[in-house]
Every structure is written in structure tokens, then in C-alpha cells.
Structure 1
């Protein structure tokens, strides 16, 4: 099992609209690709020097091949959507993690 983690800092001026869009449109669209089994959204509880709010969305995926297929088939369009809706209002970075054990 893998986790595809997207951490985003969103500018305060776009925060409310972005959060609503993420919860109602974007995360459901990512899940609708059929490549992920679940998603969890968390607020990162730190004060950012640059301001804004930071969130982490963790998508569960069964294997690396499925994640690679998401990158090839779906990610470009989904990333373009957020860039068009919230230009210059966010910074994101992505991390892949392999689950070693669950307790």
C-alpha cells in the first residue's frame, strides 16, 4: 500500500474558496479516477513564515504502478484545474510513501 501525499500552502485570500473546492470538487474528482481507495485531508498545525494555511491530503493507492498510471492519465488535467482557479495563490509539493506497517 502506498500513500500519495500532497501538501499545499494556500494564501489567506483564497483559503475559503480553495478549501470548499478541494472538499467538494477536487478530492472527489481524484477519487473518481478509480485509482485511489480513500483520501484524508488534514490541516498542518504550524505557523507559516509566508502566511496562509497549510493542508495535507493523503490518497491511499494499492501499488506503485497504479500511482504511475494516475500521473500519466489524470494528474496533468487535475493540476491544471487548480492552477487556473487559484493562480499564484498556492504552493504544493508531493510525496510518495510506502506503508511499512499499521498498528
Structure 2
């Protein structure tokens, strides 16, 4: 089971993307827990749950550097979701991005 965390401003704009990613993961028999949260919840979630990859919505890309420093010891890959994939809600491409980062 791979835990994929998506972060955006309020955790709501990524909910549709999460649903599309979950559908693709199910179709491909990939066991995942994909969830979206707001930037204010990241610390709490990372302290209480194992996260395999953290993907940032393009609107919070400015957090990448700070998160890389803050969570360095956790060895969590952190990347910004491709803006086109995010805008098109391309769950397949974003899931592939997450899986590639976990390798």
C-alpha cells in the first residue's frame, strides 16, 4: 500500500483529481491510499501517518523548498504536479508521476 498525499490551499481543489487517480489505480490494480489535504494539515498528517510521496498543487508550489528542508529526515519525495495535468485533472499522469517518484 502506497500513501500518496496531495496538498493544495484548502484540500478541496484536488479532490476531483484524487478521485480520478483512485480510479486509475484501481483499474491498474495498484494498492494506494490517495488523499488531498490543505497546506495547514501537512505537519499533523506527516507526524501521524506514513507518506510515500507528497505532491503539491501548482498553486502551492512555493512550499516545495520549505517542505524539502522540513521533511528531509523522512525521505519523502516532494514534487509539484505538472500544471497541465492538474488543470486537465489527468489522474493517470499524476498517478504515474507519484509512482515514478517512489522508485
Name the TM tier (shorter chain).
0.3 to 0.5
Judging by fraction of residues, say which structure has more strand: 1
Larger radius of gyration: 1
Judging by fraction of residues, say which structure has more helix: 2
TM-score (norm 2): 0.32
